[in-house]
Structure formats: structure tokens, C-alpha cells
Amino acid sequence: MNSFELEIDEKSYVASMFMARVANEIRRAAAIEKASRKITQQEIANKIGTSRAVVNREMQGLENLGARRIAELLWALGWEPYFEARKIPAGVNDGPPLLSQPVIMPPELKTSQGTLSLKSPVYVSHSST
């Protein structure tokens, strides 16, 4: 055994990856707003009427956010969600999901050397359509 492939059932994979993607997008928006106008989690919490601790958990990606909350968080940041459902092309429904949404998180990310500068999201194109 020179390599081992981890497995997860497709349903769980699709769901957890989408949840993570949503959280990443909210963090990306928050990082950009924080960098440009110093918005804080407390200010976001105040705008949507909850506590900073709740916003922090949601931003960390620990929560399965409902559609309402996603819209509220992005609204508080001055952003809006964009969602599109799409039929999986025939013949390609037997593998992990296609990615075609932004996959780059913000450049907010604190590094050991400081904070990275802002960059544009990178999009992954459809490779199998």
C-alpha cells in the first residue's frame, strides 16, 4: 500500500463542501470589508441583531447556515448572495461535484509574516462539459 484513498459518501461530501464554500465566501466578503472599511464582527452582529459570538461561530464555518442567515450576514457587509442551481450534465453524475465558483478565499488571511494583500477570486472552469 503506497497510497490510501480516503472515502466519504457522496451525499455527505456534496453537502459539507457546499456548506464550507458558503462559509468561505462570507469570510471572503468580511475580510475585504474589514480591510477596506474596518468593519468588525460586533458591527455585523449589531446590524443583524445577534451577538458577536454567534457571528464568530458562523464566520468560522461551524454552523449550517440557513438561506435567511446567509442573506443577512452578506447584507450586513454590504454584499448580496448569488446562487444558481444547475443540472449536472448527463454522464458526469458519477463523480464528485464540479466546481465553478470562486475558490479563493480572501487574501485577508493572516500569515506568519503578516496579512496578505487583496487579490481577485480565482474561478475554476468546467473541465468536463
Give the residue with the Cβ less far from another protein, 81 or 107.
Answer: 107
Provide Rg for the chain, Cα atoms. Answer: 17
Give the residue with the Cβ less far from another protein, 47 or 52.
Answer: 52
**Partners of 123 in the β-ladder:** 102
Per CB under 8 A, 95 contacts another protein:
yes
Per CB under 8 A, 52 contacts another protein:
no
Report d(CA 129, CA 123) in Å as an integer: 15
Tell me which H or E stretch contains 115.
strand 114-115
Per CB under 8 A, 51 contacts another protein:
no
Per CB under 8 A, 120 contacts another protein:
no
Of 53, 37, 35, 36, residue with least CA distance to 45: 53
Under the rule (CB under 8 A), what is the footprint of another protein? 1-6, 8, 12-13, 15-17, 19-20, 60-64, 92, 95-100, 103-105, 107, 109-113, 116, 124-128
